[in-house]
Chains A and B, each alone.
Chain A
Amino acid sequence: MSDTLISIRGLEKAFGEQAVLRGIDMDVHRGETLAILGGSGTGKSVLVKHLVGLLDADAGSITMDEGEVVGLGGKHLYAHRRRFGYLFQGAALFDSLDVGENVGLGLKENTSKSDDEINAIVAEKLALVGLEGIEDKRVAELSGGMKKRVGLARAIAMEPEVIIYDEPTTGLDPVTSAVIGELILSMKKSLAITSLVVTHDIPLVKRVADRAVLLHEGKLIFQGTVAELFASEHPRVRAFVTGTVPVSNGEAQ
């Protein structure tokens, strides 16, 4: 569990005058499920987008298996991205394609597999997320929870080493959120995969995460195990975990 897969040092990012990440130092261990926590607009999604090269860092470094990620381009960047599966907040399914085409698109475009082989993998991945036989459905016909699950099937189709879940339960009802939580656990069990869960859903963190980090105003104010997170005396951490309003002197109400 202590084997470091991704190491982030001094990561900074600003959009215009607004500094979003102000020196992030953290590690992701191989095989763990790491929750990346923080309020809305604190830069959680910005942080994980740097891992797959969707955003360029202003300063700092990200290494994965000793290889530098910041500044990667061309073929090297695309090869790096194939190590990741990414479940977007809104699922980001391609609405011009049906479910089967969505799940199989990465395989079709990046491998020399035949249509039959791709169809078999698509069926297998859809079964893993509990959605057998919906290959021919249009994206518009799916509910919010189904979209997330199809997005997850697409993310695991190319058998990545790391899955990034960007706000996987946002906008879902509690039952569907619980189903997504179970899926994250079963992905970890069945695929032995490293998972990064960007969220502010505390029950989800309790259920799925091994460790957690908490972002506040562009900096990490907590890194540790989930048990340590809930035992933390830091006023901001306590306020976030218990859902209370922090007062100006740093104490939670």
Chain B
Amino acid sequence: MTPLRSTGIYLGRQVIALLEDVGALARLQGQVFRFTPQLFRSSRLFMEQMLEIGNRSLPLVFVVSIFSGAVTAVQASYQFQAWVPLVLLGSTVFRSVVIELGPVLTALVVGGRVSAAIAAEIGTMKVTEQVDALETLSIHPVRYLVLPRFWAGVIMLPVITVIADILAIMGAYVVALLTIPNMTSHLFLEGIRLQFYAHDVFSGLLKAVFFGAIMTMTGAVFGLRAQGGAEGVGQATMKAVVASCLLILVLDYFLATVLFQVIFE
């Protein structure tokens, strides 16, 4: 077989595998929407998942947000030098955080953790026949396992993003006051007030809703397709994390295009 032919076959197989993943994700998403009216039947699981995704992600989000806000302030003041009035530092930090840094960094950090946890848990259930056991008890695995996780992710990621935004701006505020000459509290807050647009905040939170869906769905789809034993679960977990991060970044671009070049132009 020629190298060109074998490369072609390899690429063809990769494309088929990718299309299978996309198809499985779309089918699972359809099932989740179909079962959504039954979410009340899983209210306890839903609350548990909100706690798992929300509370237990907070320590990580706390550290990432404060330092990302702080570094934004340092970088912005360095790039402003004497060319840009300091009053714009607050607005620059605020808009960067609520539109982009808050939702995307939070989604990457929380998404990695959550998609891995979901893929590992559901994957282990799959390979130990616990998913089959649910089926034999006449319980649909998507309704029982995926539905509460999906809605918990969709609801909790925007909540965590709000907390991350506040922490990041506080981090930037403290660093700006401590390290930038002539910066005052009034100047920083005035900058935020000058260029505060509600649609910036709305856009950031809308992104978080979509990212919450992505991180839970990637975990679920790869978990439910896990095969074999521990190795299969490991593969599923790795694929879920990679897919979650990639899809978050790709979707971020498309959402930014739609939101800022079409809707809020």
- Contact status A81-B138, CB under 8 Å: yes
Binary CB contact string for chain A from 9 to 50 against chain B (1 if under 8 A, 0 otherwise): 000000000000000000000000000000000000000010
Task: Judge whether A105 is part of the interface by a CB distance below 8 angstroms.
Answer: yes
A-B contact number at CB 8 A: 54
B141 to chain A: closest CB distance in Å?
11
- Minimum CB–CB distance for B147 against chain A, Å: 13
Q: How large is the interface on A (under 10, 10 to 19, 20 to 34, 35 or more residues)?
A: 20 to 34
Q: A86 with B133: in contact, given A92-B128, A109-B41 (CB under 8 Å)? A: yes
Contact of A54 with B136 in the complex, beta carbons under 8 Å: yes
B129-144 with Cβ < 8 A to chain A:
129-130, 132-133, 135-140, 144
Whether A88 sits at the interface, judged by CB under 8 Å, is yes
Q: Which of B45-86 contact A (CB under 8 A)?
A: none
Known: A78-B138, A82-B138. A109 touches B144 (CB 8 A): yes
Residue of B nearest to A109 (CB): B139
- If the complex has contacts A88-B129, A92-B129, A92-B130, are A52 and B137 also in contact, measured as CB distance less than 8 A? no
| B128-A90 in contact (CB<8A) | yes
B-side interface size class: 10 to 19
* A109 pairs with B137, CB closer than 8 A: yes
Q: Residue among B129, B132, B135, B137 with the most chain A CB within 10 A?
A: B137
Residues of A within 8 A of B137 (CB): 81, 105-106, 109-110, 154, 158
Residue of A nearest to B130 (CB): A92
On whether A84 and B136 interact (CB within 8 A), knowing A92-B130, A94-B130, A109-B41, the answer reads yes
Interface residues of B (CB under 8 A from A): 41, 121, 125, 128-130, 132-133, 135-140, 144
Which residue of chain B has the shortest Cβ distance to A86 in the bound complex? B136
Q: How far is the CB of A46 from chain B (nearest CB, A)?
A: 12
Give the residues from 76 to 109 in chain A that come closer than 8 angstroms, CB to CB, to chain B: 78-79, 81-82, 84-86, 88-90, 92-96, 105-106, 109
- Ranked nearest first, the 9 interchain pairs of A and B with the lowest CB-CB distance are A106-B137, A86-B136, A92-B133, A92-B129, A78-B138, A88-B129, A81-B138, A109-B139, A92-B130
Residues of A near B125 (CB, < 8 A) are: 94
Tell me the minimal C-beta distance from B184 to chain A in angstroms: 53
> How far apart sit A191 and B9, CA to CA, in the bound complex (Å)?
57
Minimum Cβ distance to chain B for residue A197 (Å) = 16
Q: List A contacts of B140 (CB < 8 A).
A: 78
